[in-house]
């Protein structure tokens, strides 16, 4: 399989398919500005490093205890939650965050663009198995564009005759130097649903982190665009800009001490160096009729090259 993929899609010194952890297939991509690793299972990005004057800045947190098993999502990186986010309300026994993150995607395209960026399109379509869990015909394309910044687009198309609704998230785990010295800017004034207390509240100022957090912010605005900054007080050169398009929510999650200890694939002290900031369409989500499509995207970059919020 790896040989065939390389014959069809490899680009010398830039794109290569490799045998990764536990014999899974991953794609290594190098551009002039960044290096990335993306697994075919789950269309799951596990690393995005910015190259800067010979230095590398890893922007994404990956658990050193992640399981790389068939049908199980990798802990850390950027899982794709689809076609539902969280528990499926009418079927709470089904896997949290949907089946895309544990499904094997097909490679559709690898393009080297005229500006030096590399675009990779991975695709998932309905199968007999998916129709047992979710009885719709669909095409889900995950479009990665890699360059100075990392862009991830989830494009959902209804390829069948039946209308459907879905929810989704680009569940990015960002790497922070020290969660106690980290702030998240850009959500002041937004309403949020606290999944821990089950209360709806309004965000006052920047977010700081000193306990477990699991909050869904309502961030849809007129332009359907939201810009955020993960600010690292002790080391601002590691700040991360995150923006999102066509998302009705931003989810902010850190499991903190007790939940970290309860997860077998998460180190006990891992919560100190990660923060999930997820671009999502939660609640009723998105409604698509036959042949309609919807795209959600998240853009990530190291802000020394871009204005911050
Ligand atoms: C977040 C949810 O998006 O994902 C949390 O808001 C959840 O409630 C977290 O705990 C991790 O989920 P999972 O299924 O990957 O352990």
Which ligand 1 atom is nearest residue 259's CA? 10
Asked whether residue 31 carries a pLDDT value surpassing 60, the answer given is: yes
Residue from 44, 170, 253, 254 to probe ligand 1 pocket by mutation (most atoms less than 8 Å from CB): 253
Contact 226, 242 (CB under 8 A): no
Choice among 171, 183, 212, 273 that is catalytic: 171
Ligand 1 atom 1: residue of nearest CA:
253
pLDDT digits (tens, 9 = 90+) for 174-232: 999 999 999 999 999 999 999 999 999 999 999 999 999 999 999 987 678 999 999 99
Choice among 16, 153, 278, 294 that is catalytic: 278
Asked whether residue 309 carries a pLDDT value surpassing 70, the answer given is: no
Which ligand 1 atom is nearest residue 86's CA? 2
What size, in residues, is the chain?
A: 309
Q: What is the pLDDT of residue 237?
A: 86
Is the link from the previous residue into 171 a cis peptide, with omega within 30 of 0?
Answer: no
Q: What is the pLDDT of residue 304?
A: 62
Residue from 214, 264, 270, 280 to probe ligand 1 pocket by mutation (most atoms less than 8 Å from CB): 214
pLDDT digits (tens, 9 = 90+) for 228-264: 999 998 888 899 999 999 999 999 999 999 999 999 9
pLDDT digits (tens, 9 = 90+) for 88-132: 988 999 999 999 999 999 999 999 999 999 999 999 999 999 999
Contact 275, 184 (CB under 8 A): yes
Residues in the ligand 1 pocket, defined by CB under 6 Å: 86, 96-97, 171, 195, 214, 251, 253, 278
The 3-class secondary structure across the chain, one letter per residue, is CHHHHHHHHCECCCEEEEECHHHCEEEEEECCCEEEEEECECCEEEEEEEEECCEEEECECECCCCCCCCCCCCCECECEECCCCCCCCCCCCCCCCCCHHHCECEEEEEEECCCCCEEEEEEEECCHHHHHHCCCCEEEEEEEEECCCEEEEEEEEECCCCCEEEEEEECCEEECCCHHHEEEECCCCCEEEECCCCEEEECCCCEECCCCEEEEEECCCCCCEEEEEEEECCCHHHCEEEEEECCCEEEEEECHHHHHHHCCCCCCCHHHHEEEEEEEEEEEEEEECCCCEEEEEEEEECHHHCCCC
Which ligand 1 atom is nearest residue 255's CA? 10
Asked whether residue 306 carries a pLDDT value surpassing 80, the answer given is: no
Asked whether residue 75 carries a pLDDT value surpassing 60, the answer given is: yes
Nearest 10 degrees: CA dihedral of 211, 82, 169, 36?
Answer: 100
Q: What is the pLDDT of residue 106?
A: 98
CA 97 / ligand 1 centre spacing (Å): 8
Asked whether residue 307 carries a pLDDT value surpassing 60, the answer given is: no
End-to-end Cα separation, the chain, in angstroms = 44
Asked whether residue 144 carries a pLDDT value surpassing 70, the answer given is: yes
Contact 208, 233 (CB under 8 A): no
Residue from 61, 80, 96 to probe ligand 1 pocket by mutation (most atoms less than 8 Å from CB): 96
Q: Using alpha carbons only, how large is the chain's radius of gyration in Å? A: 19
Whether 278 is catalytic: yes
Q: What is the pLDDT of residue 55?
A: 85
Q: What is the pLDDT of residue 236?
A: 86
Asked whether residue 53 carries a pLDDT value surpassing 80, the answer given is: no
Whether 171 is catalytic: yes
């Amino acid at each position: 399989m790896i040989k065939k993929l390389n014959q069809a899609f490899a680009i010398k010194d830039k794109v290569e398919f490799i045998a990764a952890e536990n014999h899974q297939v991953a794609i290594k991509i190098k551009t002039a500005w960044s290096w990335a690793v993306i697994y075919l299972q789950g269309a799951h990005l596990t690393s995005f490093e910015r190259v800067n004057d010979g230095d590398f800045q890893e922007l994404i947190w990956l658990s050193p205890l992640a399981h790389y098993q068939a049908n199980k999502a990798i802990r850390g990186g950027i899982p794709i939650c689809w076609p539902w986010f969280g528990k499926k309300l009418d079927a709470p026994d089904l896997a949290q965050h949907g089946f895309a993150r544990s499904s094997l995607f097909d490679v559709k395209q690898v393009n080297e663009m005229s500006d030096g960026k590399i675009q990779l399109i991975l695709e998932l379509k309905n199968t007999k198995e998916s129709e047992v869990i979710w009885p719709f015909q669909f095409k889900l394309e995950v479009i990665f564009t890699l360059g100075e910044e990392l862009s991830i687009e989830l494009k959902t198309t209804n390829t069948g005759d039946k209308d459907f609704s879905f929810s989704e998230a680009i569940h990015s785990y960002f790497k922070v130097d020290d969660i106690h010295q980290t702030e998240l800017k850009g959500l002041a004034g937004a309403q949020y649903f606290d999944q821990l207390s089950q209360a709806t509240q309004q965000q006052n100022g920047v977010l700081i982190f000193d306990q477990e957090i699991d909050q869904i912010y309502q961030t849809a605005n007129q332009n359907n665009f939201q810009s955020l900054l993960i600010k690292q007080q002790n080391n601002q050169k590691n700040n991360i800009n995150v923006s999102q398009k066509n998302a009705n929510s931003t989810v902010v999650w850190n499991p903190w001490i007790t939940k970290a200890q309860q997860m077998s694939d998460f180190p006990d002290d891992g919560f100190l160096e990660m923060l999930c900031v997820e671009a999502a369409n939660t609640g009723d989500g998105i409604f698509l009729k036959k042949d309609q499509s919807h795209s959600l995207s998240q853009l990530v970059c190291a802000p020394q090259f871009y204005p911050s919020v």
